[in-house]
């Protein structure tokens, strides 16, 4: 179902559902990162192995508090914005989010719809591109609906940002660019 209702999408996330929403570069699939069943369902939809890990997306740094203890000033200075950073996860952050990695990918978004969804849900959410594993990222709500049909609980109508590529991912400790933007 394509909808413009951010509040409905937020309630769906709170209840363990999976939603599609616009981000800086493409449409993303999201759910509650701490809901194991929701995350595993999202991974099945994408055909993505749990070992790859996921990005946690927030509207503000406070929403990242359950996931990371320390946000270096140099990282904080890039947010909100299209910058994903690998940070040390807090003890207890589940492996279905980090995958096989020792660090957690996090971002505070400047994309209005994605940020509004996080604010309405009252939490950071999973953010992974809305496409099947290995497929090209989807840039329209219509294409999400065509590809995923009824497999996603809510598809928010909206426009992706003007980024020409996915957000870069950089390790906050080493400074190494893991994924170019």
Measured distance CA(162)–CA(173) in Å, rounded: 28
Measured distance CA(119)–CA(88) in Å, rounded: 24
Report all structural domains of the chain as residue ranges with CATH numbers, in order of start: 2-179 (3.90.870.10)
Rounded mean pLDDT, 155-165? 92
Q: Work out the end-to-end distance of the chain between its first and last CA atoms, rounded to an integer number of angstroms.
A: 31
Measure the CA angle with vertex 95, ends 133 and 71; round to 5°: 100
How does strand 27-30 pair with strand 19-22?
Answer: antiparallel
Residue 163 has pLDDT above 70, yes or no: yes
Measured distance CA(83)–CA(161) in Å, rounded: 13
Residue 177 has pLDDT above 80, yes or no: yes
Residue 61 has pLDDT above 90, yes or no: yes
Lookup: tokens for 154: 């809510």
Percent of the chain with pLDDT over 90: 86
**Tens of pLDDT, residues 84-138:** 999 999 999 999 999 999 999 999 999 999 999 999 999 999 999 999 988 898 9
């Amino acid at each position: 179902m394509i909808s413009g209702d951010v509040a409905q999408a937020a309630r769906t996330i709170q209840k363990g559902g999976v939603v599609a929403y616009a981000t800086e570069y493409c449409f993303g699939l999201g759910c509650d990162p701490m809901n194991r069943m929701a995350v595993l369902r999202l991974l099945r939809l994408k055909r993505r192995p749990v070992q790859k890990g996921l990005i946690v997306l927030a509207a503000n740094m406070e929403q990242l508090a359950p996931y990371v203890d320390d946000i270096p000033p140099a990282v904080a200075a890039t947010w909100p914005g299209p910058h994903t950073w690998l940070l040390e996860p807090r003890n207890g952050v589940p492996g279905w989010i980090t995958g096989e990695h020792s660090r957690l990918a996090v971002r505070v978004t400047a994309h209005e719809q994605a940020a509004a969804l996080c604010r309405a849900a009252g939490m950071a959410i999973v953010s992974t591109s809305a496409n099947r594993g290995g497929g090209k990222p989807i840039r329209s709500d219509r294409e999400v609906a065509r590809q995923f049909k009824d497999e996603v609980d809510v598809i928010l109508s909206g426009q992706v940002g003007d980024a020409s590529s996915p957000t870069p991912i950089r390790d906050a400790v080493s400074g190494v660019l893991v994924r170019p933007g």
